Every structure is written in C-alpha cells, then in structure tokens.
Amino acid sequence: MDNRLLRNKLFQNIEEAELTKMLSCAKAQEREYTSEEYIFRQGQKPCKLFLILEGTVMIAKDFASGKRDVLFLVEEGDVFGEMFLFSDTESYWYDAIAQSKVKILEISWSFFYSFCQNACRHHQQITKNMLEIQSEKNFFMTRKLHLLSGTTLRERIAIWLVEQKEKNGIVSLNMKREALADFLGTTRPSLSRELMKLQQEGLIEVEKNRIKIIDRNELEALCG
C-alpha cells in the first residue's frame, strides 16, 4: 500500500486493510500521463474520480477563439473531477491537462453510488471526506471570484499576491508565466509589464520562481 494514499484527505480515518478492500472493490486503477496529455476533454462524459499521486494537472476552459481560462492547478495529493460526481451534468465543461509526467489513481463513480459487503461500512467515512474536499474547492473558487472582481490587472495581481503569500512574504510560482496570465485573465506580456512596474515602485521583488512582497500595506491598499 502506497503511504501517500493513507495520508490523503480522501482516505482519512480509514485503516490500511479497509482501504485495500475498498480500492479492490472499486476496481481503482493507476494510470500515467505525459506532459501536455489530456486526462479528459470538454464534452466527454464524466464517470471517474481522479486522485493525483505524482505531478501537476491544469484545469482549464478553452474557447473557440483560442483563449484559455486557467481555472486552477491540482497537484500531488489533490482530487479532481469530484464536482461532477454529485451533479446531473452530462459532460465535462473544462479540460484536465497534465503539466508534467503524472500518475493518477482513477476510481469509477459506481463505487460511490453502490454499497458492497467489503466496503459498505466505510462508505459513510469516504463520503464525509468527499464533502470536506468539495467544501475546500468551493472556498477556493469563491476566492477566485474575489480575485476576478478586481477591475484592473494591477488590482487582480495585488489580490492574488496577498492571497497566495506565505508567512515569510514569499509567493511561490507553481505555474508557468503564461498559465498565470491565463489564470489572471490577461496576456503574458501585460502580466510581465505590470509585475515590473510593481517591482520598480518597490512593492515586490520578482525572482525566477517566486515573488517577494516588500511593501505589504501598499500592496493590500491596491486590492480595493
């Protein structure tokens, strides 16, 4: 049994022996995807829950115009596809794209909808875990709505930086600059120009894979 599964939120408070039976009952499968490979596409029928064992996956909405709206990134230990599990939506309305080589545990929805002799005692716990994960995702999307409420790019960047900063005032860049621009609803050149302006004004310090907040008060004042 992979210890990462035992530590995962989806399986919290479930013993190893119980989890082994559950995964067998669910006919869960591990699959690997290469960078830029689609795990699923818009329009396909939802039927699985996905748990990332290794790597990063981008959840994005592509438009006919070529524009891409990056909704969020999911990383090792994260679950995705869960929002379709308890809804009557007949098709995915976004894409899931591997951002690196990824390993994913795929669990059929039929496991969550049925009860069996091997695992039915633990369905209550895993359903509770799923609801907690869904609650966290809803909170994240609420925060993104707050982010997009910024009327200017400068406001959106400021809100994002304040939301993402760690205790040491550092914001780690866990996505490529182009993906970050899509997430913030702008273009990469516009994002780079605005970041440079904020740096020149002494509010931030931009490094390769991180941004250091220099003047937190002034940055928060930009959030509106």
The proportion of the chain whose per-residue pLDDT surpasses 70, expressed as a percent, equals 87
Best CA proximity match to 185, nearest among 220, 217, 159, 214: 159
Best CA proximity match to 182, nearest among 62, 17, 85: 62
Half-sphere exposure of 106 (CA within 13 A, CB side): 13
Assign 130 a pLDDT band (cuts: 50, 70, 90).
confident
Q: How far, in whole angstroms, is CA 175 from its chain's centroid?
A: 11
pLDDT at 36 > cutoff 90: yes
Section 139-166 average pLDDT: 77
pLDDT at 103 > cutoff 90: yes
pLDDT at 119 (0 to 100): 47
Q: Is 175 helix (H, G, I), strand (E, B) or coil?
A: coil
| Cβ atoms within 10 Å, residue 122 | 19
